[in-house]
Amino acid sequence: MAKKQRKLSKVKKAVVSILSILLSILLVFAVVELFYYPHYLIHRKAVETSAGNTTEISIVSANVRTFSPTDFFKKSWFYRADLLTKTVMTNSPDIIGFQEVTKMHYRYLTKVLPGYDNIITYRDKSLMPEGCPIFFRSDRFHLIDKGSFWLSETPEKMSKDWGSMCYRICSYAILENNADNQRFVVFNTHLDHVSDEARIKGIQVVLDKINQFGSLPGIIMGDFNATEDSETYRAATENFNDAKYQTKNTQKGATFQNFGAALDSQNIDYFMISKTGIQVKEYKILTETYNDVYPSDHFPISLKISLSKQ
């Protein structure tokens, strides 16, 4: 009996020790994060946008980097937030697709982008759910329809398949350009980072959804977690064009750079466009840094297009 009690005592001590270590780590994390919180509040200012009547459309896709306990010091969202916004707004985009947006990111973005309407659906019911929102200039576009679906065998409900590590979602908006009444559909998604099958079949779910809109010009943007030599890329480009190859005014290079640690990596973020109905004017990778601080672990990408008369 005494031997059993000693064993239980050792287990309790081990549990208490582990909990103490975890609590210490959380405390350190909280202190480091909160160190930049005043900076976050001071720079949480609305970005001004000017009304436009051009038929040319500017779009940016940006992975904001989800809220992570490993992002200490200037990798912290509380330090990077205004830097990311500054980079994204370089070309005064009419439409912005963000990935890895938690509720905390979303509150910030809606605060600093008052000139934009937006749509968002979170992919699950976890404590820190992510979404792929689409922001669009309220003075330029009229929202015709919107929706979200999961990249799974049952896209109409929260679900995951094919070995996907996370629930993966895609949001879309059908917009009408006030300048010429042209309509088009924009999709924003983030494919799984673990399963090849989930990426391949996930992008097919997106393509199948686009087919439901018939001849409406379509744009798919987001983080595909797949390089150009992958089956996922080949599946996407069977019926869509990689926008950066549709203009001479283009810039090629890595988009994922892991806060500067992987600058020689390959492109995994894309704009895919319909093979007809869209003319690409410019494609750029927004590589701005601020005193060697990267606004995110991905470089945002920027696209300028015009729609062909239907």
Residues 15, 104, single domain; the answer is no
**How many structural domains compose the chain?**
2
Number of C-beta neighbours around residue 33 at 10 A: 19
Contact in structure between 299 and 287 (CB atoms under 8 Å):
yes
Q: Which residue do the tokens 């470089």 mark?
A: 299
As a whole number, mean pLDDT of residues 187-197 equals 98
Residues 161, 105, single domain; the answer is yes
- Please classify residue 89 by burial: count the beta carbons closer than 10 Å to its beta carbon, then call 0-12 exposed, 13-18 middle and 19+ buried: middle
As a whole number, mean pLDDT of residues 37-65 equals 84
Q: Which amino acid is at 99?
A: Q
Which segment, 23-32, 53-62, 83-92, is predicted with the most confidence on average? 83-92
| Confidence (pLDDT) at 274 | 97
| Confidence (pLDDT) at 32 | 57
Residues 120, 91, single domain; the answer is yes
* C-alpha 89, offset from chain centre: 15
As a whole number, mean pLDDT of residues 264-290 equals 96
Residue 273 has pLDDT above 90, yes or no: yes
Residues 136, 7, single domain; the answer is no
Residues 183, 274, single domain; the answer is yes
Asked whether residue 155 is assigned to any structural domain, the reply reads yes
Residue 98 has pLDDT above 60, yes or no: yes
Asked whether residue 64 is assigned to any structural domain, the reply reads yes
Asked whether residue 40 is assigned to any structural domain, the reply reads no
The full DSSP string for 189-229 is EE--SS-HHHHHHHHHHHHHHHHTTTT--EEEEEE----TT
| Confidence (pLDDT) at 5 | 59
Domain extent, residue 263, equals: 46-307
pLDDT grade for 91, boundaries at 50, 70 and 90: confident
Residues 159, 25, single domain; the answer is no
Which segment of 159-163, 185-189, 250-254 scores lowest on mean pLDDT?
A: 250-254
Residues 20, 160, single domain; the answer is no
Backbone angles phi, psi at 42, to 5 degrees: -60, -40
Residues 108, 19, single domain; the answer is no
pLDDT grade for 29, boundaries at 50, 70 and 90: low
Residues 152, 279, single domain; the answer is yes
Residues 139, 120, single domain; the answer is yes
Asked whether residue 41 is assigned to any structural domain, the reply reads no
Residues 177, 277, single domain; the answer is yes
Pairing of strands 57-63, 95-99: parallel
Q: Which amino acid is at 51?
A: A
Tokens of 237: 């480009």
pLDDT in tens, 107-118: 999 999 999 999
Residues 100, 248, single domain; the answer is yes
